[in-house]
Structure 1
Amino acid sequence: MSGFSFRSLTFMLLVAFLLWSSSFETCNARRGKHWRSSRTISASLSKKKGKSHSSSHHHNHGGGSKPKAPSPPKPKKGIPTTPPPKNEDNGHSTIFNVLDFGAKGDGSSDDTKAFQAAWAAACKVEASTMVVPSESVFLVGPISFSGPYCQQNIVFQLDGTIIAPTYSKAWGSGLLQWLEFTKLVGITIKGKGIIDGRGSVWWQNSPFDDPIDDESKLIVPLNNTVKEHPPLPISGELGGKMPSIKPTALRFYGSFNVTVTGITIQNSPQCHLKFDNCMGVSVYQMSVSSPGDSPNTDGIHLQNSREVLIHGTNLACGDDCISIQTGCSNVFIHNVNCGPGHGISIGSLGKDNTKACVSNITVRDIIMHNTMNGVRIKTWQGGSGSVKGVLFSNIQVSEVQLPIVIDQFYCDKSQCKNQTTAVALSGITYEKIRGTYTVKPVHFACSDSLPCMDVTLTAIELKPLQESYHLYDPFCWQTFGELSTPTVPPIDCLQLGKPSSNRIQSDHELC
């Protein structure tokens, strides 16, 4: 064979080998994507969401070494490129830092587009981590980190501070949420960072537009002094009145296996943290902070969500520390500090003749200080559905105005018409509710046509903060159940047993 022919053959073999190697790697990557075993979406809170551990398999065929990966092409001038992802923990997680996507983190530049770009990149990689680094303040406008086509088990690592814009133009005619995560599986927000809604401009602009908590009618002031609100800015940075619709700071919608831990959410224009249509929610070791007189600033709001665990949290806000709405079941809340605020509430339910269904709720090992209510169930006249299987246990109250409340005549308007239908309440247990109150220890106001049933009281010890106060005695209306132990003060108004009418559950109560 001539030298020329041999060199030609060698060259042809080398080209064929390189093409075969490139094709093999491509197939290997494609196979890894499409042949990956699917993960079962589990709503069990006992299973920890593990990170995806990617492994690289080296193939040795006939003693040959693995070819080197080709160098990435140089970007063309003037065309933006996606920053290369960074690996952390020996390849266990792919990192997408918002600073690499153009975020400034100076507290004044608009970093919204950088956050969107970082999320778009992280969304494509399973078990990736989007990093908001510490020692930086990021001004971010309304944004949706959305699926459903994102990979699973993404971590949003929040160590810095995210602040909301305070100029009206950023919000248009009004939005219901600021930071939203939708239709995701295995989403985790964790870190030591802060989400700051800077809500004071919203509270000052429309302090009288918001409904007033109906339980305020039960509160008789002990003196005539009126608390003055501190002066707040009346407009945003660029002027203009803020919209009347106030956004929730952080909302999750339609997601599975959601975790929020470590972070602080403060000064939200309205609700701080909301879960809607979620299954498998875990919230722990995080904080909510806003002034006690900030309007409708619920701490954690649950709606149409199941398998929820909340523990080890500190919640200080201007409304309910935790609000449990219709469609919630299997909710377990424990070891929570609440105050200031309006306590922990189920409801309000059944507004505008709607159907509400809530079941299997446990609230235990709670400390409440300086709150309007302790543990409360509130429903509107005219509603339907049911609340059943509720346990309030080991609740320590201090300077709480109304520690135990059932109110089936709830109304946050100036007037509400009387209606006969109601959300049915049954299987409500109160045990080990202890501490001091400032207005009334117990207030049970149940429906005339649908009395509360199976209300059980055990080890209730509630004492007035000062014996000299002129306070109300326990109040009961159409409330049936049992006293398992003597109570302090005596709750003689509770009717023992069941209603004499031996009521049969009607269709409108079924859930």
Structure 2
Amino acid sequence: MIQILIILTLFYCSSAISTYNVQSFGAKSDGKSDSTKAFLNAWGAACAATSPATIYVPQGRYLLQNAYFEGKSCKNTAITMRIDGTLVAPSDYNIIGKSGSWLRFERVTGVSIYGGTIDAQGTQLWACKKAGKACPQGATSLAFYNSNNIVISGLTSSNSQMFHVLIYGCKNAYLVNMKISADGNSPNTDGIHVQHSTGVTIMNSHIGTGDDCVSIGPGASNLWIENLACGPGHGVSIGSLGWDLQEAGVQNITVKTATFSGTQNGVRVKTWARPSNGFVRNVLFQHVVMSNVQNPIIIDQNYCPHNENCPNQASGVKISDVTYQDIHGTSAMQVAVKFDCSKTRPCTGITLDQVNLAYKGKPAIATCANAGGTAAGVVEPSSCL
């Protein structure tokens, strides 16, 4: 019995969690005092800990400038940031707007973020962009680069200058119970962007923003999106792809049990009308409800805004094995299904299975160009494949 108690005691001690309150490092919860250094010092302490560590952010508002949480020299692979308060960016958008990212984690492993709100105060930058003035591109609110085993749970992100959350070059990321919001007219404020990453899961989240709710870039694979409410926004978009001649492909994407309300698009694949060796394959859109969506189902391989850098060319991105299963609801436009594929690399293996989309109580229309595939079950509008 004594030996068992000793073993349990040693186990308990070895698994004890060290907690670092950012206020102990000088952070102020008044929303006015710069707490950047305090947060970075708390990160440094957690990284130096030999056991799992928690960085705790109590209630209140904490002003942060650009914060770079670097993992290259971090010895700890089990750091949790538990947020009860709100992290707020400076009101002057120039302070973070030229940096690319506001809260940046790079080369970290085993980082988890639970709860809290991040507010990038992007409204003034949006106004600057809409007015056509000279203004910075803007910063992504929360970015993970080249990182592994990431968890983001229960986080609210509002008013991002650009992307709200970026997952780039990562392996195994789990994003759950996210709430993301920005004005429906806010430019380039994608909810979650995934690129050059594998094993990413997005679940039980509500995203309303001015651009794609979820955007999927080159090199994304094994992506699972489930229980998503999207609106306002531009839907779930694979692309834009094919800008570069040599570009990583997109594969093994699942979007299921999703609702799109008043969005510009529902489920979309978009590629530049430019030569490329990229591809999109093995994609499933399943159990999706459309409510007054402008383009419920769309493949656009002739994307060429302002007819610059791509007119009179054809997309080299090969799209194959895309399935639309149990997609129903209403379209805001008469053309509810549009497959506008590449004339040099036509779409193949498209499957429509139990698709039922109406337009103002009338039959909708499907249009196809350079697209091949099959239809099964009830399919309205009638398949053009």
Q: Is 1:202 the equivalent of 2:138?
A: no
> Does residue 1:423 correspond to 2:347, yes or no?
no
Specify the alignment match of 1:98 in structure 2: 22
CA distance in structure 2 between the aligned counterparts of 1:285 and 1:352, rounded to whole angstroms: 34
Q: Specify the alignment match of 1:6 in structure 2.
A: none
Q: What runs of 5+ residues in structure 2 fail to find an aligned partner?
A: 1-9
- Matching residue of 1:17: none
Do the aligned partners of residues 146 and 413 (structure 1) sit closer, same or farther apart at CA in structure 2, a change above 3 Å counting?
A: farther
CA apart distance, 1:168:
4.9
Cα distance between partner residues in 2 of 1:259 and 1:101: 25
- Select which of 324, 331, 356 maps to 1:461: 356
**Aligned ranges 1:60-99 → 2 under 5 Å:** 92-99=16-23
RMSD (Å), alpha carbons: 1.8
Instruction: Give the distance between the partners of 1:286 and 1:114, measured in 2 at CA.
Output: 26
TM-score by length of 2: 0.92
Structure 1 Cα separation of the partners of residues 131 and 340 of structure 2 = 27
Q: Is the 8 A contact 1:350 1:356 kept in 2?
A: no
- State the secondary structure of the residue aligned to 2:281: strand
Find the aligned partners of 1:435 and 1:169 in 2 and give their Cα distance: 43
Cα distance, 1:402–1:56 mapped onto 2, change above 3 Å = closer
SS of the equivalent of 1:362 reads strand
2:368 alignment counterpart: 476
Q: Does 1:123 align with 2:15?
A: no
Kindly provide the amino acid, as one letter, of the partner of residue 68 in structure 2: S
State whether structure 2 residue 183 is matched by structure 1 residue 183.
no
Matched residue of 1:198: which SS?
Answer: coil
- Matched ranges for 1:348-367 at <5 A: 348-367=240-259
Query: In 1, distance between residues paired with 2:134 and 2:88?
Result: 16
Partner Cα distance (1:171, 1:197) in 2 = 9
* Match status 1:138 vs 2:62: yes
Is contact 1:397-1:433 (8 Å) kept?
yes
Counterpart secondary structure, 2:329: strand
In the alignment, the residues of structure 2 paired with residue 200 and residue 350 of structure 1 have an alpha-carbon distance, to the nearest angstrom, of: 31
Establish whether residue 162 from structure 1 lines up as the match of residue 87 from structure 2: yes
CA-CA distance at 1:279 after TM superposition = 0.2
What letter is aligned with 2:322? Answer: I
Instruction: Indicate conservation of the 8 Å contact 1:356/1:383, yes or no.
Output: no
Partner SS, residue 170 of structure 1: helix
Change (3 A) 1:421 1:162: closer
Cα distance in structure 2, aligned partners of 1:146 and 1:54: 29
Once residues 95 and 278 of structure 1 are traced to their aligned partners in structure 2, the CA distance between those partners, rounded to angstroms, is 26
CA distance in 2 between counterparts of 1:307 and 1:447 reads 29
Which runs of 5 or more structure 1 residues have no equivalent in the other structure? 1-52, 58-90, 210-240, 495-511
2:278 to 385, 390, 396: 385
Question: Any conservation in 1 of the 2:271–2:315 contact (CA below 8 Å)?
Answer: no
Partners of 1:168 and 1:242 within 8 A in 2: no
Establish whether residue 111 from structure 1 lines up as the match of residue 35 from structure 2: yes
Within 5 Å, give how 1:230-379 maps onto structure 2. Answer: 243-379=135-271
Change (3 A) 1:105 1:271: same
Q: CA, structure 1 residues 169+337, in 2 after alignment: closer, same or farther (shift >3 Å)?
A: closer
Check 1:128–1:361 CA distance in 2 against 1; reply closer, same or farther (3 A cut).
same
Kindly report structure 1 stretches of 4+ aligned residues shifted beyond 6 Å. Answer: none
Residues 203, 169 of structure 1: CA spacing in aligned structure 2 closer, same or farther, 3 A cutoff? closer
**Partner Cα distance (2:235, 2:271) in 1:** 16
The answer to whether residue 343 in structure 2 is matched with residue 444 in structure 1 is no
Corresponding residue for 2:6? none
* Aligned residue pairs, count: 371
Structure 1 position 401 matched with structure 2 position 324? no
Shift of 1:207: 1.7
* Paired residue type of 1:277: G
SS at match of 1:320: coil
Relative distance call for 1:127 and 1:397 in structure 2 (3 A) is same
Partner SS state of residue 91, structure 2 = coil
Equivalent in the alignment of 1:48:
none
Distance in structure 2 (CA, Å) of the matches to 1:433 and 1:206:
36
- After TM superposition, give the deviation of residue 411 of structure 1 in Å: 2.2
Cα distance per residue 1:141-163 (max 9 Å; x no partner): 01111112211110011110011
Compute the displacement of 1:274 (Å).
0.6
- 8 Å CA contact 2:177–2:205 kept in 1: the answer is yes
Q: Deviations along 1:11-34, whole A, 9 cap, x unmatched?
A: xxxxxxxxxxxxxxxxxxxxxxxx
Aligned partners of 1:124, 1:465: CA distance in 2, in Å? 61
Secondary structure of the 2:42 match is helix
Which residue identity lines up with residue 299 of structure 2 in the other structure? I
Counterpart secondary structure, 2:305: coil
Shift of 1:490: 1.0
Q: State the AA in 2 paired with 1:280.
A: N
Normalised by the length of structure 1, the TM-score is 0.70
Q: SS of 1:356's equivalent?
A: coil
Q: Find the structure with the greater CA-based Rg.
A: 1
Q: Distance in 1 between matches of 2:271 and 2:344?
A: 14
SS at match of 2:234: coil
- Relative to structure 1, is the Cα distance of residues 168 and 322 closer, same or farther in structure 2, using a 3 angstrom cutoff? closer
Which amino acid counterpart does residue 127 of structure 1 have in structure 2? P
Give the AA of the match of 1:183. R
What one-letter code is carried by the residue in structure 1 that aligns with 2:346? Answer: P
